[in-house]
């Protein structure tokens, strides 16, 4: 079944006729061509496909297009607002939080979700929040460091 869906994607209105059985991940990557959101497993086990759906971080590989009409979606491409990197992005750059970078978009989205909810997380809270995002390169150490530094940046408002 094809359904016309209209979504807000990174602040812009987008309409598409989508087969209901395709996933949000496919809509973003294949239909619209925004490949920043990654497929790592397709089964909700790795978090590489994390986007914000109606303000909440979800695995886009498990969301059916058929229910998306009216949805508000933010992807990695929408993390920067304006020309500057978001503090989490900047912290990942400075601390070396990205090695191969494939898990990075999902990690960043989840990190932002955490900091939006909890501006001063402990290390355990950071690890807990990111435990649904697998990384095979970094051992998570610099990712956790980056989230801590981003939290400090945001708390101290040391970014424009």
Partner 1 sequence: MKRTEPFDMYQPATLEEASRLVKENGPGGRFLAGGTDLVIAMKEKGLLPKYIVDLKRVPGLSGIREISDGGVTLGALTTMYEIEKLPLIKNKYPFLAQSAAEVGSIQIRNRATVGGNMANATPSADTAPALIALGATAKIASAGAEREMLLEEFFKGPGQTVMSADEILTEITIPKTSPRLVGEYIKFSPREMMDLAYVGVAVAYNLGAADKKVTGLRIVLGAVAPTPIRAKRAEAALEGHILTEELADKAGQLAAEEAKPISDVRSSADYRRAMVHAMTKRALLNAAVGPAKSWYDRRERRY
Partner 2 sequence: MSELTVIGKPVTRVDANEKVTGQIVYGYDLVLPNMLYGKTLFSPKAHAKIKKIDTSKAQALPGVVAIVTGENTPWTHGESIKDKPFLAQGVVRYIGEPVAAVAAEDEDTAQAAVKLIAVEYEDLPVYTDPEEAAKPDAYPIHQDFPKYRKVDFIVPGRGPNVAEHFKLRTGDVAQGFTESDLIIDEKYFVPMIQHAAMEPHSAHAQWDKESGRLTIWVANDAPFRALHEITEALGMPKEKIRFINPAQGGGFGSKGGLKVEPIAVALAFHTNGRPVRVKFNREETFISTLTRHEAVVYSKTGVKKDGTLMAREMIIFWGAGAYAEKSPTVCIRGSLPAPGPYRIPHVKVDGYAVYTNKPVAGSYRGYGIPQGAWAGEQQLDEIARRLGMDPIDIRMKNIYIEGDMSYWGEQLHAVGLKETLIKATQAIDYDKKSAFSKPGLKVGKGFACIQKPTRSPTTSNAGVTVNAQGEVTVLAGTVEIGQGCNTILSQIAAEELKVPMEKVHMHQLDTDVIPYDASTTSSRSTYHMGNAVRGAAIHAREQIVEAASPMLEVGVKELGVADGKVFSKDQPQQALPIGEVIKRKLGINGVVRGEASYTYEIGKDLDLATGHSDHASAFYMYATQAAEVAVDEESGRVRVLRMAAAHDVGKAINPLNCAAQIEGGVVMGIGSALHEEMVIDNTGKVRNPSFLDYHLVTSLDCPELIPIVVECPEPEGPYGAKGLGEPGLAPTPAAIGNAVADAIGVRIYDLPLKPENVFWAIQKAKKKDAA
11-40: b (≥16 Cβ within 10 Å) or e: eeeeebebeeebbbbbbbbeeeebebbbbb
| Contacts (CB under 8 A) with partner 2, residues 70-129 | 75-77, 79-80, 85, 89, 92-94, 96, 98-105, 108, 124, 126-128
Could you say which DSSP state residue 17 is in?
E
Q: 3-state class of 129 per DSSP?
A: helix
For the bound state, the minimum distance from the C-beta of residue 41 to partner 1, rounded and expressed in Å, comes to 9
Interaction between residue 76 and partner 1 (CB under 8 A): no
Determine the Cα–Cα distance for residues 27 and 64; give it in Å rounded to an integer: 10
Residue in 25, 113, 142, 153 binding partner 2, rule: CB under 8 A: 142
Residues that bind partner 1 (CB under 8 A): 1, 3, 19-23, 42-45, 47, 50, 53, 56-59, 61-64, 66-67, 110, 113, 124, 128-129, 131-133
């Amino acid at each position: 079944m094809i359904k016309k869906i209209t979504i807000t994607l990174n602040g812009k209105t987008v309409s598409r006729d989508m087969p209901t059985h395709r996933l949000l991940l496919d809509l973003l990557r294949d239909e619209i061509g925004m490949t920043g959101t990654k497929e790592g497993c397709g089964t909700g086990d790795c978090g590489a496909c994390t986007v914000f759906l109606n303000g909440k971080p979800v695995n886009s590989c498990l969301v059916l297009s058929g229910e998306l009409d009216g949805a508000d979606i933010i992807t990695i491409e929408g993390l920067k607002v304006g020309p500057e990197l978001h503090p989490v992005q900047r912290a990942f750059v400075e601390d070396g939080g990205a090695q191969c970078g494939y898990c990075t978009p999902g990690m960043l989205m989840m990190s932002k979700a955490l900091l939006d909810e909890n501006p001063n997380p402990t290390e355990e809270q950071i690890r807990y929040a990111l435990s649904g995002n697998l990384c095979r390169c970094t051992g998570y150490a610099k990712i956790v460091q980056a989230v801590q530094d981003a939290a400090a940046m945001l708390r101290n408002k040391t970014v424009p």
